Chains A and B, each alone.
Chain A
């Protein structure tokens, strides 16, 4: 690969969604950045805080309602991606839990860790994990409700300060 003139030096990734499928992409991008020697920070806001709250982070679910892109490959039923997953089925009790179970199994096969272990990996690699102050206030969350290794609770202004520097990219997920 040729050496780019303006390499990506840091990824500041905002995590705004709290479903399993909403959170994984951000974790994969942050971890991938660290693997390439790129700095990474994750900023959990709104429903994304589900992934950073001790009582919810181990029980995130795949969104099966209102997800028109869901297909028979995604809940890992061994069918091709072209077979749609009827949206009304997503509302049946247990379907989200089942789809989540299948997705977790598939992720494990790909060596993608569960959310808590993934965050530990990113933190061990030197990545930073932040929570959004406004969203904390909104959900009435206290610092002790959060995962122990959170690096801080930031305001939007502090997030931009944290993200400062040439070669930083801010990504909203």
Chain B
């Protein structure tokens, strides 16, 4: 389905995740972050978002453990940056699909 985020019409699924990651931009990220209660995105947030997008583009399945070992952010920082569901929320803000793993 279509949704207008930050003035741009994008394709999203029923949970609000972008279905085409190339439609993403920083304004969209900022608006989803505000909706998700993450607040203003800082450099630390943006580094995580870029990392997630790179991993997604490379076809790597995302896990909390994997992100924690990336050197981009520790697990503790990830939980602090994206409170209330770190991997789900960061993925949504990064414009990539919701992670499907249990870990």
CB of A148 within 8 A of chain B? no
Nearest CB of chain A from residue B17's CB, rounded to whole Å? 12
Task: Tell me if B85 and A111 are in contact (CB < 8 A).
Answer: no
Task: Tell me if A111 and B103 are in contact (CB < 8 A).
Answer: yes
CB of A28 within 8 A of chain B? yes
Task: Tell me if A31 and B64 are in contact (CB < 8 A).
Answer: yes
Chain B 77-88 interface mask (CB, 8 Å, partner A; 1/0): 001000111111
Task: Tell me if B85 and A126 are in contact (CB < 8 A).
Answer: no
Residues of chain A with a CB closer than 8 A to B15's CB = 1
Task: Tell me if A111 and B65 are in contact (CB < 8 A).
Answer: yes
CA distance A111 to B76 in the complex (A): 18
Size of the A side of the interface (Cβ < 8 Å), in residues, is 16
Residues of chain A with a CB closer than 8 A to B50's CB = none
Task: Tell me if B86 and A35 are in contact (CB < 8 A).
Answer: yes
CA distance A80 to B15 in the complex (A): 36
> Which A residue's beta carbon lies closest to that of B15?
A1
Residues of chain B with a CB closer than 8 A to A34's CB = 79
CB of B59 within 8 A of chain A? no
Residues of chain B with a CB closer than 8 A to A1's CB = 15
Residues of chain A with a CB closer than 8 A to B5's CB = none
Residues of chain B with a CB closer than 8 A to A31's CB = 64, 103
Residues of chain B with a CB closer than 8 A to A137's CB = none
CB of B25 within 8 A of chain A? no
Nearest CB of chain A from residue B52's CB, rounded to whole Å? 14
Q: List B residues at the A interface (Cβ < 8 Å).
A: 15, 61, 63-66, 68, 74-76, 79, 83-88, 101-103
Q: List A residues at the B interface (Cβ < 8 Å).
A: 1, 28, 31-32, 34-37, 110-113, 121, 124-126
